[in-house]
Amino acid sequence: MTTTVLRHGRVLAGAQFRDDLTVVIEQGRIVALERDPDPEAPVRAGQVDLAGGWLLPGFIDAQVNGGGGVLFNNAPTVEGIAAIAAAHRRFGTTGLLPTLISDQPAVMARAIDAVRRAIEQGVPGVLGIHLEGPYIAPARKGTHDAATFRVPGADELALASSLDNGVTLLTLAPERVPLESIRTLADRGVVVAAGHTAATYEEIRAGLDAGVRAFTHLYNAMSPLTGREPGTVGAALDDAHSWVGIIADGVHVHPASLRLALAAKPAGKVFLVTDAMPPVGAQDPSYVLYGETITAVDGVVRNAAGALAGSALDMASAVRNAVSWLGVDLAEAARMASTYPAQLLGLDEFRGHIAEGCIADLVLLDTHLQVQRTWIAGL
């Protein structure tokens, strides 16, 4: 049995950082957090010197459309998923949901099967799938192709809930899907999120009562908060139990609006996502979506109509931005990138923490919060 011991780091253990701990890893899990008996002693064979860096739980990204030059919709294969996951690992993401934006049933079926096989084959970092649409609202479609939108029947509810070895997150518009269908999805273990929706406050409340647990990229592609009509944004901020994902790139949402969300929601209910597209981790800033070539310019991704088409954000940058713009410390920014998404996805028993018994998914940042190394299941 190979034992790995991580020393000389600032370890996020519980609510705070500790600089006196060693992290002991065996067979892909953290088996102990121990006081370093001699912190001045040199690092021996089998030990890793963290050189004073910040050791955090590995980041979990619930919304990854692409990376490494690959768009999941265009390559719903094990190889495509592996390329996306490898690209995001460079930025501290040790767990992700490849995200399929609105598409035809045949593509959805291929994507779900590819994720199932990727998990079976042990592709590092794959936790499940995010189906973003196609059960969404034309009025808030963003860059999605409205020609793919539809109301799911029994066959598609079965398809959307068919992944049997990973998590399924499904973004839908509650006003477009019968409440009984939302209940069916939730009962089958699907994590249902509201997004790309023109719903009223009352329609969102009904969706929450039926099983909606989260909101996809808060503020974007949803009915806004106004004085007399709270809309989707108002319902999301008003609800104490649901989670909200935020894209902290300074483009999708003004930092002041993100700070308002943090002030409104209970602690632990705001988490970071990237909504990343193929340029992340790639040299080529361009990619093809629905037959249209889209190019990231100065880190901003828009289609020809001017709609934001995902992002060029990586999770390490999102963490840095949360610290710089949102008034949170590094420990809280790390939880927003790991602990809270793990809780939403029901994975927090073994992920999203640095604790005995947890899977050894870890990321090491230097003093400038740049990624130095990642571990997925201890490797």
Residues 59-97 pLDDT 10s:
999 999 999 999 999 999 999 999 999 999 999 999 999
pLDDT score recorded for residue 20? 94
Q: What confidence tier does 44 reach under pLDDT thresholds 50, 70, 90?
A: confident
Q: Does residue 349 form part of some domain?
A: no
Q: What confidence tier does 226 reach under pLDDT thresholds 50, 70, 90?
A: very high
| Whether the predicted pLDDT of 1 surpasses 80 | no
180/293 same-domain check: yes
pLDDT score recorded for residue 66? 98
Q: Does residue 350 form part of some domain?
A: no
321/193 same-domain check: yes
Mean pLDDT across 268-293: 96
Q: Which residues are annotated as a binding site for substrate?
A: 143, 220-221, 228, 252, 308-310
Using a pLDDT cut of 70, give the percent of the chain over it: 100
107/230 same-domain check: yes
97/166 same-domain check: yes
Q: CATH number of the domain at 236, please.
A: 3.20.20.140
Span 334-356, pLDDT tens digits: 999 999 999 999 999 999 999 99
Span 228-252, pLDDT tens digits: 999 999 999 999 999 999 999 999 9
CB 43, CB 75: distance < 8 Å:
no
Which bin fits 92, alpha (ψ -120 to 50), beta or left (φ > 0)? Answer: left
Does 275 qualify as catalytic in the annotation? yes
DSSP SS3 for 76 = coil
Q: CATH number of the domain at 368, please.
A: 2.30.40.10
List Cβ<8 Å contacts ≥24 apart for 338-343: 338/56, 338/57, 338/58, 338/59, 338/60, 339/57, 339/268, 340/243, 340/268, 340/269, 340/270, 340/271, 341/60, 341/61, 341/62, 341/245, 341/271, 341/272, 341/273, 342/57, 342/60, 342/95, 343/243, 343/268
Q: Does residue 149 form part of some domain?
A: yes
- Kindly state the DSSP code that residue 42 receives in the 8-state scheme: P
pLDDT score recorded for residue 41? 80
Q: Which residues are annotated as a binding site for Zn(2+)?
A: 132, 196, 217
- Rounded distance, CA 167 to CA 346, Å? 8
Residues spanned by the domain of 23: 3-56+356-375
CB 30, CB 376: distance < 8 Å:
no
Q: Which residues are annotated as a binding site?
A: 132, 143, 196, 217, 220-221, 228, 252, 308-310
362/221 same-domain check: no
Q: Are strands 191-194 and 212-215 parallel, antiparallel or unpaired?
A: parallel
| Whether the predicted pLDDT of 224 surpasses 80 | yes
159/19 same-domain check: no
φ/ψ of 35, rounded to 5, equals -65, 130
96/180 same-domain check: yes
pLDDT score recorded for residue 223? 98
12/76 same-domain check: no
Q: What confidence tier does 307 reach under pLDDT thresholds 50, 70, 90?
A: confident
| Whether the predicted pLDDT of 99 surpasses 80 | yes
Q: Does residue 145 form part of some domain?
A: yes
- pTM exceeds 0.95 for this model: yes
Q: What is the mean pLDDT of the chain?
A: 96
255/176 same-domain check: yes
pLDDT score recorded for residue 43? 82
Catalytic residue among 61, 145, 249, 275: 275
Q: What confidence tier does 295 reach under pLDDT thresholds 50, 70, 90?
A: very high
| Whether the predicted pLDDT of 211 surpasses 90 | yes
Q: Does residue 275 form part of some domain?
A: yes
Measured CA distances, 246 to 33, 178, 253, 254, 326 (Å): 32, 26, 8, 11, 12
314/190 same-domain check: yes
| Whether the predicted pLDDT of 192 surpasses 80 | yes
Q: What confidence tier does 306 reach under pLDDT thresholds 50, 70, 90?
A: confident
Q: What confidence tier does 305 reach under pLDDT thresholds 50, 70, 90?
A: confident
CB 354, CB 57: distance < 8 Å:
yes
Strands in 286-289's sheet, in edge-to-edge order, are: 286-289, 292-297, 300-301
The total of structural domains in the chain comes to 2
118/190 same-domain check: yes
Q: Does residue 351 form part of some domain?
A: no
29/78 same-domain check: no
Mean pLDDT across 155-175: 98
Q: Does residue 72 form part of some domain?
A: yes
Q: 99 exposed, middle or buried (CB, 10 Å; 0-12, 13-18, 19+)?
A: buried
Query: CB neighbours (10 Å) of residue 369?
Result: 18
| Whether the predicted pLDDT of 37 surpasses 90 | no
